[in-house]
């Protein structure tokens, strides 16, 4: 079993150079916020991520992979829908 503080550290470090902040909530859930460090623009906000299944490094890696897919989709949407064709990483 991986301690929740270590799980949080692993998830946060997985999104560098973007800024990732995880908040552990009562009831065994976590909020994950990924943002651009320069602009502060939030590119991903996931609320209510269940931490119970995150008991192994493989489970954490699978969560990070799922979050990256969501993040990429959000960034692509932003690029398509932003004024004047602003670009995002």
State the sign of the Cα–Cα–Cα–Cα dihedral 53, 58, 60, 66: negative
Domains of the chain, by residue range, sit at: 4-81
Question: E strand or H helix at 32, and its extent?
Answer: strand 29-35
CB 22 within 8 A of CB 38: no
With a cut of 70, say whether residue 84 has pLDDT above it.
no
Q: What is the pTM of this model?
A: 0.82
Distance between CA atoms of residues 47 and 11, nearest Å: 14
In the structure encoding, which two tokens stand for residue 72, read together?
A: 């990429």
The 10s digit of each residue's pLDDT in 6-18 is 999 999 999 999 9
CA dist 12 → 20, 45, 67, 81 (Å): 5, 13, 11, 27
């Amino acid at each position: 079993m991986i301690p929740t503080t270590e799980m949080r550290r692993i998830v946060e470090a997985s999104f560098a150079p973007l800024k990732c902040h995880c908040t552990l909530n009562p009831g065994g859930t976590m909020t994950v916020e990924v943002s651009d460090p320069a602009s502060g623009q939030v590119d991903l906000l996931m609320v209510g991520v269940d931490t119970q299944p995150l008991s192994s490094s493989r489970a954490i890696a699978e969560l990070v992979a799922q979050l990256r897919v969501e993040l990429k989709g959000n960034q692509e949407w932003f690029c398509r829908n932003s004024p004047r064709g602003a670009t995002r990483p």
